């Protein structure tokens, strides 16, 4: 099945394995791309959790596949140092012939400029129309519509509400959130989405280097086990309640911080305070996700857990979804 997304990415299957911090690792990205879909590199995961540097991680991917891969640029203006490092990584990704970029959490203008100059495309993560309009004005080629069932930073709308809100912007739209099985996948394509980005489904694979307990918890969890917490980053992040420590459970970060988060002038300061406050927990969560020692902490996952019933190789998932899309088209 071909869509504007498959043409933009040069892949066979309208399916992405989304970027994931901390669990996106080179073997998973490569397995998804080799099977005909698009694996997205999360550079912070590659550089700090799995490979020691982005270059080493990209080299590992290239040992395993020559097919197209994508790169996730979180463009939030966190600090001058972060912006410098991210800019260097984007150039490194372009040098490594990556031509599909997924931007998130900020203004994609600079990435669009660099990537278009190299002949590539940029899809931008959005949760509502006003962000999509801004991104379109900055020249992005497509949108990744993050709905309220997504793993990672969740949106506020259902997949259908978001599609209806964005459809007249005349950009290809990829659905992100809530899809764990073929029926959900086909439903989203039939709704008009040009592709689907999944995260949680691909954590429950042997290629994803997380602890076995984390994979199993995804298989065993139901929708109601997923809760949103602002305590990690100041934005809603979906986590599995059973795998999370008390302090990471759903809830607001306290009256003062909640107020600061709502004010346009102070929201970045509040997010920085929260990031500092949760740094220890966040470090523990990265370790928990990759540790081989049964250390349990924060396990991120979306409501797509309801459609995930087995740990399976990434290629089997891609092939199964591809067959379902072909049957339906
Ligand atoms: C553990 C985890 C970490 C994530 N980290 C990122 C990230 O670093 N950057 C990003 O753009 N999206 C991130 N996401 C979002 C995914 O790329 C994808 O959009 C989302 O998982 C789709 O929802 P699903 O989990 O229901 O399939 C993350 C998702 C999960 C589950």
pLDDT, tens digit only, all 329 positions of the chain = 899 999 999 999 999 999 998 889 999 999 999 999 999 999 999 998 888 899 999 999 999 999 999 999 998 777 888 889 999 999 999 999 999 999 998 999 999 999 999 999 999 999 999 999 999 999 999 999 999 999 999 999 999 999 999 999 999 999 999 999 999 999 999 999 999 999 999 999 999 999 898 999 999 999 999 998 887 777 888 989 865 554 444 445 566 666 666 667 666 666 666 655 544 444 444 444 443 322 235 789 999 999 999 999 999 999 999 999 999 88
> Which atom from ligand 1 is nearest to the alpha carbon of 149?
26
Residues 263 and 153 in one domain: no
Find the residues whose C-beta lies inside 6 A of ligand 1.
18-21, 23, 42, 72, 74, 104, 125, 146, 149-152, 176-179, 197-201, 300-302, 304
Q: What is the pLDDT of residue 70?
A: 98
Q: Residue of the nearest CA to atom 14 in ligand 1?
A: 152
Whole-angstrom Cα distance, residue 14 to residue 30?
16
CATH code of the domain containing 118:
3.20.20.70
In a shared domain, residues 244 and 167 = no
- One domain for residues 200 and 319: yes
Dist. CA 56 → ligand 1 center (Å):
22
Q: Candidates 150, 154, 209: which one to mutate for ligand 1, based on the most atoms within 8 Å of Cβ?
A: 150
Which residue puts its alpha carbon closest to atom 9 of ligand 1? Answer: 19
Please report, for residues 75, 101, 109, 118, 318, the alpha-carbon distance to residue 112 in angstroms, rounded to integers and kept in the order given.
11, 9, 5, 10, 29
Boundaries of domain holding 53: 4-209+309-328
Distance of CA 127 to the CA centre of its chain: 13
* Whether 324 and 177 share a structural domain: yes
Of the residues 20, 106, 158, 288, which should be mutated to test ligand 1's pocket, given the most ligand atoms within 8 Å of the CB? Answer: 20
DSSP string spanning 239-285?
EEGGGS-GGGSSB-S-HHHHHHHHSTTTHHHHHHHHHHHTHHHHHHH
Shared-domain flag, residues 204 and 216: no
Six-digit token pair at 138?
Answer: 């900055």
C-alpha dist (Å) from residue 101 to 8, 25, 41, 143: 11, 17, 9, 11
The distance from CA 76 to its chain's CA centroid, rounded to whole angstroms, is 15
Ligand 1: atom nearest CA of 125 is: 11
Do the Cβ atoms of 106 and 131 come closer than 8 Å?
Answer: no
230 and 82, same structural domain? no
Is the domain of 178 the same as that of 247?
no
Beta bridge partners of 104: 74
Q: Are residues 90 and 10 in the same domain?
A: yes
Nearest-CA residue for ligand 1 atom 1 is 300
Q: What are the counts of helices (DSSP H) followed by strands (DSSP E) for the chain?
A: 15, 11
What pLDDT does residue 249 have? 47
Find the DSSP H helices in the chain: 4-9, 26-34, 43-44, 54-64, 80-95, 109-117, 129-137, 159-166, 182-191, 200-203, 212-220, 255-262, 267-277, 279-290, 314-328
Only one residue has tokens 């489904």, namely 201
The preferred substitution site among 16, 17, 18 for testing ligand 1, maximizing ligand atoms within 8 Å of CB, is 18
- b/e sequence 151-179, b meaning 16+ C-beta within 10 Å: bbbbbebebeebbebbeeeebbbbbbbbb
Q: 72 and 134 share a domain? A: yes
Same domain, 136 and 243: no
Domain shared by 230 and 167, yes or no:
no
CB 322 within 8 A of CB 36: yes
Which residues neighbour 85 within 8 Å (Cβ) at sequence distance 6 or greater?
A: none
* CA dist., res. 170 & res. 191, Å (int): 15
**Total number of domains constituting the chain:** 2
Same domain, 138 and 194: yes
Between the CA of 32 and the centroid of ligand 1 the distance, in Å, is 15
């Amino acid at each position: 099945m071909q869509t504007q997304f498959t043409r933009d990415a040069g892949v066979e299957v309208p399916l992405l394995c989304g970027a994931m911090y901390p669990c996106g690792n080179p073997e998973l990205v490569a397995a998804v791309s080799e099977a005909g879909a698009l694996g997205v590199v999360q550079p912070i995961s590659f550089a700090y959790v799995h490979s020691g540097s982005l270059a080493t991680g990209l080299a590992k991917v290239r040992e395993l596949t020559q097919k197209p891969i994508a790169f996730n640029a979180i463009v939030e203006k966190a600090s001058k140092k972060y912006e410098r490092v991210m800019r260097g990584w984007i150039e490194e990704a372009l040098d490594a012939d990556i031509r599909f970029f997924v931007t998130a959490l900020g203004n994609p203008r600079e990435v669009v400029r660099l990537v278009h100059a190299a002949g590539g495309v940029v899809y931008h993560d959005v949760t509502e129309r006003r962000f999509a309009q801004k991104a379109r004005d900055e020249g992005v080629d497509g949108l990744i519509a993050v709905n309220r069932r997504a793993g990672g930073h969740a949106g506020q709308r259902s997949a259908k509400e978001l599609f209806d809100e964005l459809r007249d912007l005349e950009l290809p739209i990829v659905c992100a959130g809530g899809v764990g099985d073929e029926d959900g996948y086909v439903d989203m394509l039939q709704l008009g989405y040009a592709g689907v980005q999944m995260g949680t489904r691909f954590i429950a694979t042997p290629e994803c280097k997380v602890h076995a307990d984390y994979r199993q918890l995804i298989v065993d969890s139901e929708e109601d086990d997923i809760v949103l917490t602002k305590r990690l980053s100041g934005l809603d992040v979906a986590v599995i309640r059973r795998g999370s420590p008390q302090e990471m459970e759903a809830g607001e970060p306290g009256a003062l911080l909640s107020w600061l988060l709502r004010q346009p002038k102070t929201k970045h300061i509040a997010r920085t305070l929260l990031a500092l406050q949760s740094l220890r927990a966040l470090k523990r969560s990265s370790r928990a996700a990759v540790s081989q020692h049964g250390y349990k902490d924060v396990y991120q996952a979306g409501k797509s857990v309801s459609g995930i019933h087995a740990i399976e190789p990434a290629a089997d998932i891609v092939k199964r979804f591809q067959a379902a899309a072909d049957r339906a088209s």
